[in-house]
Amino acid sequence: MYRAPFWPAPHTDRPVNAYVRVPGSKSMTNRALILAALADGPSTVREPLHSRDSALMAGALSSLGTTIEETADGAWRITPGTLRGPAYVDCGLAGTVMRFLPPVAALADGRVRVDGDPQARNRPMATVINALRLLGARLTGHGLPFEVHGRGRLLGGPVTVDASRSSQFVSGLLLAGARFEQGVSVAHRGKPVPSLPHIGMTVRMLRGAGVDVDDSTPDVWHVRPGPVRAPDTGIEPDLSNAQPFLAAALATGGTVTVPDWPGSTTQAGDAIRGLLGEMGASLARTPEGLAVTGPGRLRGVDADLHAAGELTPTVVALAALADGPSRLRGIAHLRGHGTDRLGALQRELNALGGAVEQTPDGLVVTPRALHAGTWHACNDHRMATAGAILGLVVPGIEVDDITATGRTLPDFPDLWEAMAKG
């Protein structure tokens, strides 16, 4: 693992041809941990992601009384316990922890303090906090840090929220909803919910745990009260973590293969296939996995990324290398992430000679010749990997904090360097 403060991004003058196995999905891992902690018996999560975000989720659930043990093959064996405080939940920068844990904490008996990294205190939290108050929970505070004063039960029932800043507000309520006395009915009112596939993932995993969910009405989700079954869960490869490796094929005109790409999935990261195709890539499913081959020249795109905003840094990096301008829309909500991703992408690319302009709901990227310089990751894993993509074709780029990738992919530097060497 690379530990120096500045990471010289590997540069290559030839096409990258590589086979890259990526670990399990962060989104699926943390949802599976929540459901296992609320289940009616022990269960196993197989091939989970081992990263800072998943470790924070496991630590939070353990502090509330859940037993989580790692098996010899890297799986997690989860045994639910009586949810209780006092407890302290460290969210780090993980949106899934800060939005999914409070509804679980409301079911605990005792006080639960929730906080995170200083940067996390700027992330929107009022929606889930206010929703829990309306559902009968007692909380003090309106954002990180705050406290949940649990009474061992929560009434639940109907609640209306504005989830236009994050789909996680809905998913967090749904994941714990079966354990509320009246279940939960969540209605969204506001601008369209971003990253809707993530709610689809939540619904699918709830049903896999035997929970009765009705999502037949747009922007309304009903979870009926009842037990949560304890199924063994296999975690798919993280398709969002796969995106920078596939992008390497486009940046260099090579071929990158990712094994075990699911034929059907609720992961928002699956949308990268269509975007790479629009930019000129050839994609094929082979016995080895999903193979992506880059074109001779990259095309600019006009793309609405509202449903898959996590792809934005990768697409922006490729757009900066294309043969024409790109317009990315539907991603205003990225200004409210752990870092303002739109502002950060504009600032970092322009500092390297690029031309990026912000619009009310996105970015316009006009390709220009880029030069060497420092790429600031802004403590953001997706920003760090975007700098790595650019470094493949622009010599002399250094990423100031490649360890930011540890949130979701701790082995990224080693995997990336091995890929670049071929």
Q: Does 329 carry a binding-site annotation?
A: no
Q: Does 195 carry a binding-site annotation?
A: yes
Amino acid at 22: V
**How many Å apart are CA 342 and CA 339, to the nearest integer?**
9
Q: Does 337 carry a binding-site annotation?
A: yes
- Catalytic site residues? 310
Q: Does 151 carry a binding-site annotation?
A: no
357: Cα separation from own chain's centroid: 25
Q: Does 299 carry a binding-site annotation?
A: no
By DSSP bridging, strand 233-234 and strand 282-286 are: unpaired
- The closest of 143, 117, 116 to 128, measured between CA atoms, is 143
> Phi/psi zone of residue 124: left (φ > 0), alpha (ψ -120 to 50 degrees), beta?
beta
Instruction: Retrieve residue 302's tokens.
Output: 């006009």
Q: Does 166 carry a binding-site annotation?
A: yes
**How many Å apart are CA 231 and CA 228, to the nearest integer?**
9
- The closest of 302, 298, 299, 278 to 363, measured between CA atoms, is 302
Q: Does 171 carry a binding-site annotation?
A: no
Q: Does 26 carry a binding-site annotation?
A: yes
CB 235 within 8 A of CB 208: no
Q: In what order do the strands lie in the sheet with 220-223?
A: 157-161, 184-188, 220-223, 213-214
**How many Å apart are CA 5 and CA 400, to the nearest integer?**
6
Q: Does 273 carry a binding-site annotation?
A: no
Binding site, annotated residues for 3-phosphoshikimate? 26-27, 31, 166-168, 195, 310, 337
Binding site, annotated residues? 26-27, 31, 95, 123, 166-168, 195, 310, 337, 341, 382
Binding site, annotated residues for phosphoenolpyruvate? 26, 95, 123, 168, 341, 382
